[in-house]
Structure 1
């Protein structure tokens, strides 16, 4: 963010000369053509720029390099919250039954059973799965970068996390190992060994766009209302909360930095939980 955006856009201005108008002009420019390909950045991305600038200037004030934080006089662009859609448990069962005909079925199953992000699932390695203790360690994520291609990075939270899995999911994942080993032996030096659980026949990472097309196809076949692939993660969290799983546990599985993020994200589930909790309390007191 600093190297590609802030330094080229604002680095020529002395910190003592920086004005709110400079920041406002910078935000507008980034919204218009801030990407490397000439298109504009999203309001969310520009908001991240604002937060970084604000924090840097706040430290400058604390260190007495500045008398005021000019970023406090500028409002970042407002972001539109993407509406969340999820499936209930019956719809999940329907989709998984239909998706068994897809080569990407184990990916869909893993996402629904763990709540992992798409990049985290596609970046999952065999070394990250403890089959004895039924635990997945999320240590890397697959990311598609323009003009670079597919690359691996740390999870979004910046640190690894552990997710307990079911014996059923572990069994499905184990099924992938033998045919993968056969391709590895068949291709020899032409096999690209990234130790990936979900990989192409030559070992290379699965193309997210290809998987997305396949996912949409099987949602259509199932006859279910369409939800984004990312909403499978939301579905996992919503179903767990509806079953009375403590939000702290759900937060840890999702990799949220705080339980507050989980509670804010899934407020739509809370009213029903409140009602059930009140009824259970009454049954306890009777």
Structure 2
């Protein structure tokens, strides 16, 4: 047995997990925060006392069953999403143990958990708004209709962050990408924004770094209206700087597009709180700040953009994520698709024309009598296929020969 395997037989899971966390020096601060939370909140309390080298899939399955029976801060049982996150952390930690030679295989690979449903973006239709007002229930991911979004943008047109709300709602930037945007990355002549950094939070601390993934580093095209909004925002920012200088207050030339009154970049958490307050004041059905990004994808699809264009706009690594989560179809589009589908049938030759004629006929009467009073009979449908005269003749001749043959058979 090697020294590494001997260590695996002597180390507890707690010792390994904390050592593993100490070696994670090149991960994002938010990832470290999530790993630490999973380790301290779930893994150490349930499997920390076990010997690392003796871990089995059966032990881990039992532990996840115990975790599933605990409750979150809202008093509800842990969700499949939480279990999946904890499993991801454990699997990464045990993969590190395999890499270091303390384990030969990763037992977390054989743990089966409840499937995590991927939430679908739901549009705030009139029916959903009425249900929300009556019950308080709302979709996990909710997006506004174009009319509702226009009402919000009209309500916040005098807000100092109007350009930020507009940019996220129409072009789909993430909160951290908008908070980290600098004027040097905005080209109002070519009409594009380069996403090269983001400002994220780990707890309350702000960390600035590269975008979420390689695909998140992208150029986002700007329309003329968005360019006009950003120009007006830059003019107001310049006026604010000059006003503060005139009254002897400090202005920080930070270079960020969206800043506080002193020119310093805005805390990303403030954007979330501000959005929630403005939505409440506007009297609109509730959505989160990130839901503006979902809505931008929905609007792009409604405007005719294909999935690849939406994927590039949002900076997704996979087009499946774009299709599954971010592109809920607006009711108007669904109705148009339904109408187009029906037209394909009704415009299909004489049969389609006959169906159209029947559908446009007054459905409340049949041959002068109310439809409800008609006897129930077999539907008067034309057969799907009508034999030709030659086929009918051949059938008659064949039938005659069979009858003639039977007439000469001995009884």
TM category, shorter: 0.7 to 0.9
Q: Which residue of 2 aligns with 1:51?
A: 88
RMSD (Å), alpha carbons: 4.3
Q: 1:194 aligns with which of 254, 259, 262?
A: 254
Counterparts in 2 of 1:1-286, with a 5 A limit?
A: 3=21, 5=36, 9=44, 16-20=53-57, 21=59, 25=63, 44=81, 47-51=84-88, 53-54=90-91, 68-76=105-113, 79=116, 81=119, 83-146=140-203, 149-158=205-214, 159-181=216-238, 183=241, 186=245, 190-266=250-326, 268-269=328-329, 272=334, 275=338, 278=341
1:11-43 alpha-carbon deviations (Å, 9 max, x no partner): 997754333325764896799799xxxxx9986
Distance 1:219 1:75, change over 3 A: same
**Is contact 1:31–1:43 with CA below 8 Å preserved after alignment?**
no
Q: Which structure has the bigger radius of gyration?
A: 2
CA offsets, 1:161-188, max 9 Å, x none?
Answer: 1110112211221223344346288399
Q: Which runs of 5+ in 1 are unaligned?
A: 35-39
* Residue aligned with 1:85, SS: strand
CA distance in 1, matches of 2:274, 2:100: 54
Question: Cα distance, 1:215 vs. partner?
Answer: 2.5
- The Cα shift of 1:100 comes to 0.7
Give how far 1:47 is off.
2.3
Identify which range, 86-95 or 206-215, moves more after superposition: 206-215
- Structure 2: gaps (5+ residues): 1-16, 22-34, 120-138, 350-411
The more displaced of 220-229 and 2-11 is 2-11
Contact 1:116 1:233 in 2 (8 A): yes
Work out the number of aligned pairs and report it.
281
For residues 58 and 171 of structure 1, do their structure 2 counterparts lie closer, same or farther at Cα, with a shift above 3 Å needed?
A: same
Q: Which has the higher contact order (CA 8 A, sep 6+)?
A: 1
What is the SS of the residue equivalent to 2:219? Answer: strand
Q: Structure 1 residues 48, 94: CA separation in 2 closer, same or farther (over 3 Å shift)?
A: same
Shift of 1:151: 2.3
CA distance in 2, matches of 1:73, 1:139: 38
User: Offset of 1:64 from its aligned partner?
Assistant: 9.2
Describe the superposition over 1:206-230 as per-residue Cα deviations: whole angstroms up to 9, x where unpaired.
Answer: 2344433433343234332222221
Sort the Cα spacing of 1:52 and 1:172 in 2 relative to 1 into closer, same or farther, 3 A: same
SS of the residue corresponding to residue 90 of structure 1 reads helix
Q: Give the Cα–Cα distance (whole angstroms) in 2 for the partners of residues 283 and 154 of structure 1.
A: 54
Would the aligned equivalents of 1:27 and 1:76 in 2 still touch at CA under 8 Å? no
Q: Is the 8 A contact 1:112 1:235 kept in 2?
A: yes
Shift of 1:149: 2.1
How far, CA to CA, are the matches of 1:252 and 1:164 in structure 2?
Answer: 10
